[in-house]
Amino acid sequence: MEFDNILVKLTHLFAIELNYNVIKSGLMKKMTQITELKITKSQIERLASNLRALLTQHHITENEVAQALNIPHMTVRRLASGETTDPRISTLKLIADYFKITVDSLISDQENKPTVLRHKNMPKFVPVLDWIIATKIRTIKDIDLTTWKKWQPVTLNSNISISDTAFALESRPSMHSRFPQGTLFIIEPNITSSDGDIVLLRIKDTNELSLRELMIDPPEKQLYPIVPGSNVLVYSENAYDIIGVVVLTLLYNRRITD
């Protein structure tokens, strides 16, 4: 079975992408997060072959890729030689993004054509942040993702577009009356918020983050609370920053910490 099919089936087995309206109707399924890929020997060989082909095609060395991505040279060398049997998703994503291809195409049999464009139905991997880290950064680019361990596969389709600056946050306990424990919010910073969106808000005075439901009744924009009992806020550019819009919500089994 080709690796792209495996990824799609994995994602459909453990996850279902839901927009806000679907969440309200209660149609949720459980999912899990993935940090490593268990792939077959033939897929390891394809990965090595595709990576070597990419290096040749782009006239670049293993060391140059390692330096560009700030990862150990030995990591790239072991992938290109087929020595690594359990590659990390974070590493594969970095390499795939570097060559502007997908993770699945990096491992699939491309018949000497490793530089395929991203297929709209292939999963895109999004970093999962905790709220403390999200509070400290301005954008996802402020984080070194080369060793990031928590990634979430998200299946793309014609209605979903996620940029490389998208990230995920897990629902806080105070939100569980509306969004159950294990709900994961996929947040896209690169789209303009509109009436009815759930947005990630930064409160400028305190630098704290809050998820709010945006309601627009011109000329005012009101921010309704996700947490019961909280006050409704009136949006002002001087007081608040809208960091991003929740484009998907997922529900997964709670992680087991190391």
Contact of 247 with 191, CB cutoff 8 Å: yes
Q: Do domains 3-18+33-107 and 123-251 have the same CATH topology?
A: no
Tokens of 130: 């905790």
Tens of pLDDT, residue by residue, the chain (258 residues): 444 444 444 444 333 333 433 333 333 333 444 445 567 788 888 889 999 988 888 778 898 888 888 888 899 999 999 998 888 888 888 898 888 888 878 887 755 443 433 444 456 788 999 999 999 998 888 988 877 888 888 877 656 778 889 999 999 999 998 999 889 999 999 999 999 999 999 999 999 999 999 999 999 999 999 998 899 999 999 999 999 999 999 886 544 333
| Strands 240-251, 220-225: pairing kind | unpaired
User: What pLDDT shows up at residue 195?
Assistant: 94
Contact of 204 with 242, CB cutoff 8 Å: no
Contact of 7 with 122, CB cutoff 8 Å: yes
User: What pLDDT shows up at residue 25?
Assistant: 37
Beta strands in the chain, from DSSP E residues, in sequence order? 123-129, 151-155, 167-170, 183-188, 198-203, 208-217, 220-225, 233-234, 240-251
Torsion of CA 48, 147, 184, 242, to 10 degrees: -120
pTM: 0.58
CATH number, domain 123-251: 2.10.109.10
Ordered by start, the domain boundaries in the chain are: 3-18+33-107, 123-251
CATH number, domain 3-18+33-107: 1.10.260.40
Tokens of 167: 């990230």
* Residue 196: CA count within 13 A, CB half-sphere: 4
Residue keyed to tokens 């996802």: 140
